[in-house]
A and B are shown apart, each in its own frame.
Chain A
Amino acid sequence: MVDRLKARLWIIFLTGALVSACVTINQGVPATPTEGIVFPTIPPLPLVTLPPIPTLVPQPTDTPTAETAEPATPEPTLAPGETAPATPIDLMPFLTSGITVYNLGDSTLYVDATIIDTGTGDEYPVGVSSVEPDQYTRQATLATRYRIDFSYSQDTNDALGSCTIDVAEADEIDFAALPDGIIVTRNAVQPDDPAEMVVATSSLCQAGAAG
């Protein structure tokens, strides 16, 4: 339980650091409370010992110090005002869940995933994947709310169906698509009501719906 709490706090802390770094990188456009995103206030946290924070983004500096340099490695030289390149974030530790899609149809299936902010309803497109007939593919994902649109046509992204689903940590969500519709299961749990396995009628796919 303590480890789990620490892990969550660590994620919160890291996320804050990342957001701060993001604002730092985009120095050309000063961030003000009136533009862009307003971050929610995180409630006070209990006192715990957090692991050391790695340097995620090299800060711009004209005079690199020996503190961050290997003795035998020459320091990169940055011109005045030049910004050091960003270091990509390792997403792997955050991808704790999985979404699998079987295409049981006879043509290419297009799967369009969007992250939905449960607080504001804002949407963040993740991207479109194509799944060929007789292909199944599992993608490790963040635990969050998604809207997943399915279509056998590139022109209309939700022609076959759409599922807004809350994916929890360690969840494994399976979809099986056919031209007649889509089957959905969570963690291979067999529902009592067969309608719970059909995207069009399953409560799994109505996350955030009124009522």
Chain B
Amino acid sequence: MMRSSRLALIGLALVLVGCAGLTNDPGKITVTNNSSTDTVVLTVSLADGQSSMNLAPGASASVRTVVGGVYEVGVTLAGADQEAYVSKLQALRDTAEFLLGEDPTPDQVSAFMDQATEIHNLIEAARQNGVASCQGNLALSLTEPVSVSASVSTSSIGGVTTYSMSCGSA
């Protein structure tokens, strides 16, 4: 059984990599925070992946896809929630540094696992109640990589921040 599975995967890998024309080239979605003042936590959701990013004003990040299709970009965390997210990331980083140093302890291992789970759950919960979002479509090509751009901008009226989203399609 294992041998059959392995052969199938090898065959598939050969097709994927060695037979251009049967699989689409990968696509890329680049997300930019066009706000001049606000850092935002954005989540890009795709059929074959998901990515969350903490983008400072003017910063960009990208996500790769091998299947394309409809994608969604959402502002998942803002304000105090965004600050909490960043502090959890910092805690995860501190624990990871202990693990990479000399004589890490089982408690640090446990803490790392808990912190990583906490961050993941925080994003998942926030994604369900996103502040703002948009959708686009990425139709991949057999012959060339396809890229699209998405962006978020913010405005503040009476101390309330509103988000404007844009998702490109190709």
Q: Is the CB of A191 within 8 A of B109?
A: yes
Tell me whether B15 and A15 are in contact (CB under 8 A). Answer: yes
What residue in chain B is nearest A195 (Cβ atoms)? B104
A89 CB contacts on chain B under 8 angstroms: 15, 22-23
A88-B142, A127-B64, A136-B52 known; A19 and B11 CB under 8 Å?
A: yes
A18-B15 contact in complex given A89-B22, A91-B66, A104-B93, C-beta closer than 8 Å: yes
Q: How far is the CA of A129 from the CA of B44 in the complex (A)?
A: 15
**Alpha-carbon distance between A119 and B11 when the two chains are bound, in angstroms:** 11
**Least Cβ–Cβ distance between B98 and chain A, in angstroms:** 9
Chain B residues near A185 (CB, 8 Å)?
A: 113, 116
User: For residue B11, which residues in chain A have a CB less than 8 angstroms away from its CB?
Assistant: 12, 15-16, 18-19, 39
A56, A88, A190: the one contacting B24 at CB < 8 Å is: A88
B170 within 8 A of A: no
Q: Cβ of A92 and Cβ of B8 under 8 Å apart?
A: no
A140–B49 CB distance below 8 A: yes
- Cβ contacts under 8 Å, B18 to chain A: 22, 36-37, 124
**Is the pair B19, A190 in contact by a Cβ cutoff of 8 Å?**
no
Q: Which residues of B contact A45 (CB under 8 A)?
A: 4
Distance from B24 Cβ to chain A, minimum over Cβ atoms (Å): 5
Interface string of B78-91 (1 = CB under 8 A from A): 00000000100100
Per-residue interface assignment for chain A, residues 3 to 36, with 1 indicating a CB less than 8 Å from any chain B CB and 0 otherwise: 0010011011001101101100110000000001
CB contact between A197 and one of B17, B66, B97, B109 (< 8 Å): that residue: B109
A16 and B99 alpha carbons, distance in the complex (Å): 45
- Asked if B125 is an interface residue, CB under 8 A from chain A, the answer is no
Q: Is A95 an interface residue when CB atoms closer than 8 A count as contact?
A: yes
Q: How many contacts A-B (CB < 8 Å)?
A: 187
State whether A92 touches B26 (Cβ < 8 A): no
| Contacting residues, chain A, for B59 (C-beta < 8 A) | 132
Within 8 A of A (CB), among B1-26: 1, 3-19, 21-24, 26
Contacts A176-B96, A178-B100 known; A144 to B13 CB distance under 8 Å?
yes
Q: How many residues of B contact A (CB 8 A)?
A: 62
Complex interface bits, A100-121 against B, C-beta within 8 A gives 1, otherwise 0: 0010100000000001011100
**A173 interface hit (Cβ, 8 Å):** no
CB–CB B13/A43 < 8 A:
no
In the assembled complex, B156 has its CB within 8 A of some CB on chain A: no
A124 partner, pick from B16, B67, B140, beta carbons under 8 A: B16
A207 touches B (CB below 8 Å): no
In the bound complex, do residue A18 and residue B12 qualify as a contact, i.e. CB atoms below 8 Å apart?
yes
- Cβ-closest chain A residue relative to B101: A180
Among B6, B14, B60, B142, the residue within 8 A (CB) of A37 is B14
Query: At the interface, yes or no: A60 with Cβ under 8 Å from chain B?
Result: no
Which B residues lie within 8 Å of A26 (CB)?
A: 19, 21
B112 within 8 A of A: yes
Whether, in the assembled complex, B128 has its beta carbon less than 8 Å from a beta carbon of chain A, the answer is no
**Chain A residues near B49 (CB-CB < 8 A):** 98, 137-140
Tell whether A50 is near chain B: CB-to-CB under 8 Å.
no
Question: Do B23 and A88 have beta carbons less than 8 Å apart?
Answer: yes
A174 at the interface (CB under 8 A from B): yes
Chain B proximity of A118: nearest CB distance (Å): 6
Q: Please name 22 pairs of A and B residues whose Cβ atoms are closer than 8 Å in the assembled complex, sorted by A.
A: A11-B12, A12-B11, A15-B11, A18-B11, A19-B14, A39-B11, A45-B4, A91-B23, A95-B67, A124-B17, A135-B53, A136-B119, A137-B49, A137-B50, A138-B51, A142-B9, A176-B112, A176-B116, A194-B99, A194-B108, A198-B99, A198-B100
